[in-house]
Amino acid sequence: MNRDQVKGIAKDVAGKVQRKVGELTGNKTQQAKGAAKQIEGKVQKGVGNVEQALDTGRQENPLRDRAHVEGNRPRRLLTGNGR
């Protein structure tokens, strides 16, 4: 789990608490702020998920990234239609 995932979860939970407190006290402003914080947390967690997926992909195929960085391109296989 990376930093964005952890921070996103924390913001989501904090927003949920803030929203619930707003509901219990009848404070619409706190409800809205809590809901906004929840959305922010979910987005940040999503960013962390994407980062993790990219890192996992690099770890699974390190030669692909190396070839790209060095400017080497994979050779295309010739097919029967001349392409």
Residue 82 lies in a domain: no
Residue 44 lies in a domain: yes
Res. 16 pLDDT band, cuts 50 70 90? very high
Residue 80 lies in a domain: no
Residue 12, pLDDT score: 98
Spacing of C-alpha 11 from chain mean position: 14
**What's the total number of domains in the chain?**
1
The pLDDT tens digits of the residues spanning 45-69 come to 999 999 999 988 887 776 665 555 5
56 lies in which domain range?
A: 3-69
d(CA 51, CA 45): 10
| 11 and 40 Cβ atoms separated by less than 8 Å | yes
Residue 81 lies in a domain: no
Residue 54 lies in a domain: yes
Q: What are the phi and psi torsion angles at 37 (to 5°)?
A: -65, -35
Residue 20 lies in a domain: yes
- Rounded to two decimals, the pTM is 0.69
